[in-house]
């Protein structure tokens, strides 16, 4: 004989644990194993981040703080730091014509290298992403190879090539009858700056070509197929699809190009040494010469120059940041 549970009385609802008084509720089981796993995750996260944090603090944050501190002292880099001058270093730099010449040269170098390297590297990237082109690996390797050459070595090689007396360039021009005697490209400010720009473009060209190739690969292939069905030419595909689609990335690449170009130092040391005279000084070389170029060292003065130029660079980068945000809005309009 089987028994059945009595049915609930009409009109009476089933009582759940939530409806019971707190004293009568059954305590929920707590999964302590998950909490232990989360705790271990936090520990391992700190373990893996610790080396980076230590290096970041030691080689970024601490030097920045020390540079700000030194800039308020007339310190030679040796001995006690006790000659406090306040903003005296900054006042001297603001009226130092060599510093402003260095700033102008740095900006000219950054703008010229960016204007030259970005368009030609974009053209190379477009060609190297075409399906009909053969030997892509060879060309990619050839364009990227100069990037692995140390800056100092590249500067020394071009110093020998452009030597006015026995350099290879002057020898070729004399053999072709184009010139009667060798000419010194480093004897004039503007020709020396142009050489710095061209050598820098030659060396960094491959890096920006890779940037452009990455941007081009993110353009949906379906857009090109639809344009081909509509009978669009290659020029229209470039101007109506490719360039608008990569515009947000192009702004970022331009920002990187300008910021990286402002750090020029090695080529100036090996190619021109700031010459002729001091006409090709850049800010990095100006700071180096004040900090280590002459005795007694003007370490506090150099620190102030570095901070002042950092403020100038920050203003320029902030202005470009507005362009980046506008480009991101345009990217959303295109739905990518």
List pLDDT tens digits, range 155-170: 888 988 888 877 888 8
State the pLDDT at residue 21.
61
State the pLDDT at residue 105.
95
Cβ burial, residue 256 (10 Å; 0-12/13-18/19+): middle
State the pLDDT at residue 129.
86
State the pLDDT at residue 213.
92
State the pLDDT at residue 327.
63
State the pLDDT at residue 314.
84
State the pLDDT at residue 244.
85
State the pLDDT at residue 2.
47
pLDDT digits 0-9 by tens, 230-268: 888 888 888 888 888 888 888 889 888 988 899 899 999
> Which segments of the chain have a pLDDT < 70?
1-37, 39, 321, 323-324, 327-328, 330-336
DSSP code per residue over 201-240: HHHHHHHHHHHHHHHHHTS-HHHHHHHHHTT--HHHHIII
Q: First and final CA of the chain: distance in angstroms?
A: 71
Q: 196 and 280 in contact (C-beta within 8 Å)? A: yes
Q: 129 and 216 in contact (C-beta within 8 Å)? A: yes
State the pLDDT at residue 131.
80
Q: What's the Rg (C-alpha) of the chain?
A: 32
State the pLDDT at residue 301.
92
State the pLDDT at residue 307.
92
Cβ burial, residue 89 (10 Å; 0-12/13-18/19+): buried
Q: Does the predicted TM-score (pTM) go above 0.85?
A: no
């Amino acid at each position: 004989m089987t028994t059945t549970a009595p049915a609930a009385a009409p009109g009476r609802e089933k009582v759940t644990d939530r409806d019971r008084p707190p004293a009568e509720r059954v305590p929920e089981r707590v999964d302590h194993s998950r909490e232990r796993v989360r705790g271990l995750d936090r520990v391992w996260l700190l373990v893996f981040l610790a080396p980076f944090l230590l290096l970041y603090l030691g080689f970024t944050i601490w030097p920045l703080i020390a540079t700000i501190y030194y800039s308020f002292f007339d310190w030679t880099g040796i001995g006690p730091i006790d000659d406090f001058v306040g903003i005296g270093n900054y006042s001297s730099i603001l009226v130092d014509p060599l510093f402003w010449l260095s700033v102008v040269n740095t900006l000219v170098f950054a703008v010229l290298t960016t204007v030259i390297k970005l368009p030609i590297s974009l053209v190379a990237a477009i060609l190297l992403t075409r399906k009909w082109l053969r030997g892509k690996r060879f060309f990619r390797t050839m364009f990227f190879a100069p990037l692995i050459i140390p800056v100092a070595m590249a500067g020394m090689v071009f110093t020998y090539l452009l030597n006015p007396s026995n350099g290879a360039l002057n020898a070729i021009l004399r053999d072709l009858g184009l010139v009667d005697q060798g000419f010194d490209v480093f004897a004039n400010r503007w020709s020396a700056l142009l050489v710095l720009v061209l050598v820098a473009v030659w060396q960094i060209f491959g890096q920006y070509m890779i940037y452009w190739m990455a941007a081009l690969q993110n353009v949906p292939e379906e857009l090109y197929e639809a344009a081909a069905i509509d009978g669009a030419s290659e020029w229209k595909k470039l101007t109506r699809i490719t360039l608008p689609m990569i515009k947000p990335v192009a702004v970022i690449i331009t920002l990187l190009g300008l910021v990286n170009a402002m750090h020029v130092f090695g080529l100036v040391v090996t190619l021109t040494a700031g010459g002729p005279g001091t006409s090709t000084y850049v800010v990095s070389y100006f700071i180096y010469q004040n900090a280590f170029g002459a005795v007694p060292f003007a370490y506090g003065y150099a620190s102030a120059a570095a901070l002042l130029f950092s403020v100038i660079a920050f203003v320029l980068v902030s202005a470009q940041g507005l362009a980046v945000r506008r480009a991101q809005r345009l990217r959303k309009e295109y739905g990518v």
